[in-house]
Structure 1
């Protein structure tokens, strides 16, 4: 039994070493233009949202370790696809309104930031007052942009 365990542990260690050869691309594309928001809202967005929803991702040390790096790259790619503050200016008005509505809903339902992200990034946790600040800002932006 001990021999099988040693073989299994050795195989697992070998597999973990082998997958390190498959690196993710951690380069950030250039920022086209950030979203224009009041200073307090912008600081909040940068602190809680920009790591996944912009081209200003700060890649942590564990982004160098597969397979965790693959999950991280997937989350950032998905986050940028859903909402990218670095390309905000390129969104047409109606798309901005849709993105703002969805964002406000996700924050209100405590889906954003995700619990697993906030677990390792405590600075991204949002207090109730901060959630309200984001809700108020999105409501103002929607009113300004909506036809």
Structure 2
């Protein structure tokens, strides 16, 4: 047998083995299950069309696999991504979210798309039809604006804020124990003396926020040393209802909560080195369970380039 003929035989055998591997893998790939649809998202048709085209393959129970999704290695990646995506939110189980969480999630989806974080670049490279256009973003934004919470010239809201502040002042005459979150993070009254980092508004729930940075965090911002942030950094966000007058001027209404991010890369290594805490109402009642704080870092993954911190007024 000539050398060239022997090479042809070897090549044919190798090709045959490859085809067998492919055939076997198509029937033995990691399974992407299809849980029942318990309560699909209800939005205008134009909005849903965008979600179906760009999000449903991973974020729903209606995943449609192509033949190449079943190939070796690829199938494992697809299975992992779909599983993680459904944990974040599932359009096919939308009714499992409260009305408030539905609005928050919709704004989160919009922000991730607007920031170019979703859909994933690798996914749109294979599925170009999933790309979200500028006109698609406009459709989403216009819809979300209809869900925005506003309190324009709402005298009842103003009265509630005044009453709440009066009651809060009376409570301050008593010495209260400093509240502690379930993960051990304490409320820090001294935040009032820290540097203001930024101010923001949330359209989805009609709130306004002021963010403070402790001296370590403020120095890191000024020195552009925020990725990673130094241990000991503490960021505080104080949240109020937003009141707006007929001229568009806004001011704080009722106090809602105060939130903390505490940097300790070893202690909080499961959440990218950040510990999260929240204290609700003027009584500063600790919020949540330990597992709930993993949802915080899942949202903050969108701003990995700023050390997982939203709303920085100074960026490198």
Q: TM-score, normalised by structure 1?
A: 0.79
Deviation at 1:105, TM superposition (A): 0.9
Please tell me whether Structure 1 or Structure 2 has the larger radius of gyration of its CA atoms: 2
Deviation at 1:143, TM superposition (A): 3.8
Cα distance in 2 for partners of 1:142, 1:56 equals: 29
1:65 aligns with 2:75: no
Q: Contact conserved, 1:100 with 1:142, CA < 8 A, in 2?
A: no
Q: State the partner residue of 1:7.
A: none
Structure 1 unaligned runs (5+)? 1-9
Higher-RCO chain (CA-CA 8 Å, sequence separation at least 6): 1
Q: Contact conserved, 2:38 with 2:92, CA < 8 A, in 1?
A: yes
What is the aligned-residue RMSD (CA, Å)? 2.7
Q: State the partner residue of 2:126.
A: 120
Cα distance in 2 for partners of 1:103, 1:33 equals: 18
1:40 maps to which of 46, 60, 67: 46
Structure with the higher strand share, 1 or 2: 2
Deviation at 1:55, TM superposition (A): 0.5
Cα distance in 2 for partners of 1:132, 1:123 equals: 18
Structure with the higher helix share, 1 or 2: 1
1:86 aligns with 2:92: yes
4+ runs deviating over 6 angstroms: none
Q: Contact conserved, 1:30 with 1:55, CA < 8 A, in 2?
A: yes
Cα distance in 1 for partners of 2:60, 2:53 equals: 12
Q: Contact conserved, 2:61 with 2:90, CA < 8 A, in 1?
A: yes
Q: State the partner residue of 1:107.
A: 113
Deviation at 1:22, TM superposition (A): 5.6
Which has the higher mean CA deviation after the structures are superposed, 117-126 or 92-101?
92-101
**Number of aligned positions between the proteins:** 136
Aligned in 2, Cα 1:142/1:71: closer, same or farther, shift over 3 Å?
farther
Q: TM-score, normalised by structure 2?
A: 0.39
Q: State the partner residue of 1:4.
A: none
